[in-house]
Structure 1
Amino acid sequence: MRFVRNRGTWGTYFERLVRFPGHPETNQLETVIGKLCTWPRRSGTSLVFHLSTPVCDTPRTRGGPCWHFGEIIWHPGNRLDLVVVYRNHDFFNKALGNFIGLGQLLNFICAASGKTPGRLLCHSVHAYNGGGTEALRALAA
């Protein structure tokens, strides 16, 4: 059995961080790291990532980007938190992988900017168990 990713036309989250649809010159990740490296100490500052836009992401129940918003919060002591907002979040099939990837993203940003990783905070507007009750019972057994 061959695993095939079906990303549709919206791409990947990383692509949206470094080359936003319709604005390929916009590299949000590079901009945030640059600000963290060049701004004077700014404890309490927040830097924002946008991963969706009404221009290219029409309302849909499934099949589009679920991670919509990210924010780096710069705390005293050069500690960075990453806050993310998901519109839909499948806690059975995807959440663990999402959390690992987001943790790696936070670690990368901190390593590139000389900061210390803090907390990963995730707000899921609609969290659901995509695996079903039977699958959860089998996993817990």
Structure 2
Amino acid sequence: MGANEYYMPTDWRIKGDIREVYEVCSNFKDYHRWWPEVYLDIQVAGTDKETGNEAYAILSKGKLPYKLRWKSCKTAEYAPFSLSLKASGDLAGHGTWKFEQDGEYVNVRFDWYVNAEKPLLKFLSPVMKPIFRSNHYWAMGKGFESLKRELERRRRAGIST
């Protein structure tokens, strides 16, 4: 694995129905509303030429004082069980969300294979990789907390799938 290559798996276990969890996690353009600590802005960026799917321009950040500009689009979708995406820009690679109902909980797994292409991150990855990984896991922790709040908000508002 190259110095700027990262594999960062994340596992969440959240009370809920697979369809409602999938609906929130698969709606990329709404991430900046319910996951605001990380997703600062998301704009529709046209159609991805390779997949024909809607692409999004994303501005995101972690706990560390830098921002990432990247694009993403869905590459495969098997609702409500899995969703794959690709990334380009400051982050380049692919990820897959997997969802499994387990009683009253949903097990969520996100496998993120990404290269840090932002010049500063790429240059510093050989020595800063553990810190950059920690930054990613901080962001995912914020996502888990935000997802819990979003599901509760949707339930209070009577929003169902």
User: Into which bin does the TM-score normalised by the smaller protein fall?
Assistant: 0.3 to 0.5
| The structure with more radius of gyration | 1
Normalising by structure 1, what TM-score?
0.38
TM-score when normalising by structure 2? 0.34
Relative contact order, CA 8 A, sep 6+: which one is greater? 2
Higher strand share: 2
